Structure 1
Amino acid sequence: MSEPDIPDLVLISGPEQILAQRAVDTVLTTLRAHDPEVDVVKLPAVDYEPGALGVHASPSLFGGWTAIVVEDFDEADDALVEDAHALALDPPEGVTLIVRHKSGNRGKRVLDVLKKAGRVITAPAVKSDRDKVSFVQQEFKDARRQIEEQAVTALVQAVGKDVAELATACAQLVRDTTGKVRTTDVETYYGDKVETTGFKVADAALRGDTAEALRLLRHALAGGLDPVPIVAVLAMQLRQVGKVASAGRASSGTLARDLGMAPWQVDQARRTAQGWDGIRLGRAIQAVAAADVEVKGGVRTGTAVARDPEYAVEMAVLAVSRERRG
């Protein structure tokens, strides 16, 4: 058995790669504090050779600690499952087994041993805007820095497509700014990306500002933004307005939990909903649904064919803006 603060077995469970890698790094940092010369062995499941775990777990002639990182264990073959199970049941002295498992039940009996006898670290998926907002907030909390709520929103809208890029953006703002991070700071570092995001196009369209919506749309398209995510954002914003408008007068926090949204999204949707009624909102949703079909290739029935995707998204933006103005 290892020392109390040095784990023999570690299970890192979940699909989010950046969180999983951070978990591995944290464990390795703990091991290096115990043994600066720790030997780190990485074994991808896809390339596993039978018996390799046992070989790497064997005592070294020179002593020292060994960390074995098994990657993508959810893709393990039978040989790896058998070898990992044997090692997990009887971990040798001076060895830490770190298993990364994205999801599913592959290797369940190994996972059960790790959960019972080892340290479990989760790496949950960061997919929705709500997840990304929480991720950014935690990044700044861990860095002991404050960030405005609207700055969080702007950052997610600017670079939230990729979680790794979002983490890098948070680190840059922490490193290169002082005091509370504000929306102007995000605009300074990521202004071009904020300008070319579909969120600003949707915001302008939903408040009926046709000229601004078209200006932002054409800027976004000229910058290479695909029409598909723009239509997706339009649809999402309209759905949120509909859900919030029909959900009653509960607090933002309560509605956020009930509707699967972030509190700031509830507040934004409430403000936007003040200019809409159910009939016009329904027509706008129908227009965006039709554009969604067209930007994804459309359907061919008789002589009907899909329009140009950029034309389709422009017509959707115009339709939404027109319905908002009544």
Structure 2
Amino acid sequence: MATTARRAPAKRPAIPQLSWRSPQPAPLVLVSGPEDVCAERATAAIRDYLKAEDPSLEVTDVRADDYAAGTLLSVTSPSLFGEPRLVRVTGVEKCSDAFLNEALAYLEAPQEGATVVLRHTGASVRGKKLLDAVRAGTGGGVEVPCPAVKRDSDRFDFAAGEFSTAKRRIAPVALRTLVSAFADDLTELAAACQQLIADVPGDITEQIVERYYGGRVETSAFTVADTAIAGRYGDALVALRHALASGADPVPLVAAIASKLRTMARVAGQREPAAALAARLGMKDWQVDRARRDLSGWSDATLGMAIQAAARADADVKGASRDPVFALERLVTVIATKAPFGG
């Protein structure tokens, strides 16, 4: 009897995996992944933690791609007065051979009182031998993963975490408006959250977000999608033209509209409570609630027509048509009027 080969389970790192919001120092700290905002926060938190323990902390920055032999051992070695040392190493994904060899040797005998933070973006496999050694537990390290934040729900969680960490309250609608306004740039979203936290003394409302970032909100892809889905044809065309005039790329505009339509299709006809449905579909409660509100006035036929129009527009803005602006206007027309274009 033939047997089916079983795939070996993925090997888990032997070292602790820590949240970038609450990292802890260790002799070796591997900050991995492409999201620089999260990586910078993690590194800053480690510095602040060590600084609070001992204000005499010595901080040194080292570039792994422009590395002078002997630097790592020099900056981690105890000084005359024995101050703690923090060494922040960037560019490990493009490290030189000299750094790689010395870092591997350092793992075998880390210096007492030194914390070495290795930043690897994952942009290449360069330094993999070093990463494997750290993850195997050599050197007594920990890892702080900083995976890419791509989905709308991930950005929502990121922004919610900014306010939660600061012990500040923001209205759910205000939070969603803020995330929609900075859907394409996590760095700008993080800066916007911190500005509101610093400037606004009380709870943060939708009106406050619109006062600060109304221009961004008005031209966001999700504003175009929301107004079209709500049947506000004139407002949707105005929002679309504002977005294009401000330099918005047609491709993510279509993607945002298509994403909302797909979410509506997944929720349509489902009678479960929002929390149960969200858990089953891998969504957030607020996404289910919003999709159900968006479905008002829609039928299976009109929703299917809109999804087909979005698929056509997606192909058009990616090269199938010479006029991506017309493709977008046609899509908005179909969605807002719930009728075939020109019908």
Q: Bin the TM-score by the shorter chain.
A: 0.7 to 0.9
User: Is this contact kept in 1: 2:162–2:193, CA < 8 A?
Assistant: yes
Equivalent residue in structure 2 for 1:187, among 210, 217, 233: 210
In 1, Cα distance between the equivalents of 2:214 and 2:152?
19
Answer yes or no: is 1:253 the counterpart of 2:275.
yes
Equivalent residue in structure 2 for 1:133, among 156, 159, 174: 156
Answer yes or no: is 1:314 the counterpart of 2:329.
yes
In 1, Cα distance between the equivalents of 2:221 and 2:25?
47
**Which deviates further from its counterpart, 150-159 or 307-316?**
307-316
In 1, Cα distance between the equivalents of 2:91 and 2:70?
17
Equivalent residue in structure 2 for 1:21, among 40, 46, 61: 40
Moved over 6 A (4+): none
Q: What residue is the counterpart of 1:301 in the other structure?
A: none
Between Structure 1 and Structure 2, the one with more helix by share is 1
Q: What residue is the counterpart of 2:236 in the other structure?
A: 213
Q: What residue is the counterpart of 1:101 in the other structure?
A: 120
User: Is this contact kept in 2: 1:275–1:324, CA < 8 A?
Assistant: no
Alignment of 1:108-147 (within 5 A): 108-114=131-137, 117-147=140-170
In 2, Cα distance between the equivalents of 1:227 and 1:295?
6
Q: Which runs of no fewer than 5 residues in structure 2 stay unpaired? A: 1-23
Q: Any idea what the Cα deviations from partners look like across 1:191-248, whole Å, max 9, x if unmatched?
A: 01101112121112112221221122122223332222221111111111111115x2
Superposition deviation, residue 59 in structure 1: 3.6
Q: Which amino acid aligns with 1:42?
A: D
Q: Which amino acid aligns with 2:143?
A: V
Answer yes or no: is 1:57 the counterpart of 2:79.
no
Equivalent residue in structure 1 for 2:259, among 236, 251, 260: 236
Cα separation, partners in 2 of 1:39 and 1:212, compared to 1, 3 Å: same
For 1:47, what is the secondary structure of its paired residue? coil
Superposition deviation, residue 169 in structure 1: 0.8
Q: What residue is the counterpart of 2:9 in the other structure?
A: none
User: Is this contact kept in 1: 2:135–2:143, CA < 8 A?
Assistant: no
Answer yes or no: is 1:158 the counterpart of 2:181.
yes
Equivalent residue in structure 2 for 1:225, among 240, 248, 272: 248
**Which deviates further from its counterpart, 252-261 or 175-184?**
252-261
Cα separation, partners in 2 of 1:44 and 1:11, compared to 1, 3 Å: same
Cα separation, partners in 2 of 1:207 and 1:6, compared to 1, 3 Å: closer
For 1:212, what is the secondary structure of its paired residue? helix
User: Is this contact kept in 2: 1:10–1:114, CA < 8 A?
Assistant: no
Equivalent residue in structure 1 for 2:99, among 75, 80, 97: 80
Superposition deviation, residue 78 in structure 1: 4.7
Q: Which amino acid aligns with 2:334?
A: A
Q: What residue is the counterpart of 2:63 in the other structure?
A: 44
Cα separation, partners in 2 of 1:114 and 1:170, compared to 1, 3 Å: farther
Superposition deviation, residue 39 in structure 1: 2.6
| TM-score, scaled to structure 1 | 0.87
For 2:158, what is the secondary structure of its paired residue? helix
In 1, Cα distance between the equivalents of 2:25 and 2:334?
61
User: Is this contact kept in 1: 2:28–2:142, CA < 8 A?
Assistant: yes
Cα separation, partners in 2 of 1:113 and 1:41, compared to 1, 3 Å: farther
| TM-score, scaled to structure 2 | 0.83
For 1:296, what is the secondary structure of its paired residue? helix
For 1:46, what is the secondary structure of its paired residue? coil
**Count of residues in correspondence between the two structures:** 314
Q: Any idea what the Cα deviations from partners look like across 1:79-119, whole Å, max 9, x if unmatched?
A: 43332222122111232111223347812432225588234
In 1, Cα distance between the equivalents of 2:158 and 2:169?
14
**Which deviates further from its counterpart, 57-66 or 186-195?**
57-66
Cα separation, partners in 2 of 1:6 and 1:261, compared to 1, 3 Å: closer
Equivalent residue in structure 2 for 1:31, among 30, 39, 50: 50
Q: What residue is the counterpart of 1:175 in the other structure?
A: 198
User: Is this contact kept in 2: 1:206–1:324, CA < 8 A?
Assistant: no
Q: Which amino acid aligns with 1:28?
A: R
Q: What residue is the counterpart of 2:298 in the other structure?
A: 276
In 2, Cα distance between the equivalents of 1:9 and 1:314?
54
Cα separation, partners in 2 of 1:6 and 1:242, compared to 1, 3 Å: closer
In 2, Cα distance between the equivalents of 1:324 and 1:115?
63
User: Is this contact kept in 1: 2:33–2:120, CA < 8 A?
Assistant: yes
In 1, Cα distance between the equivalents of 2:133 and 2:88?
14
Q: Which amino acid aligns with 2:286?
A: W
User: Is this contact kept in 2: 1:151–1:183, CA < 8 A?
Assistant: yes
In 1, Cα distance between the equivalents of 2:70 and 2:182?
43
Q: Which runs of no fewer than 5 residues in structure 1 stay unpaired? A: 299-305
Superposed CA RMSD in Å reads 2.5
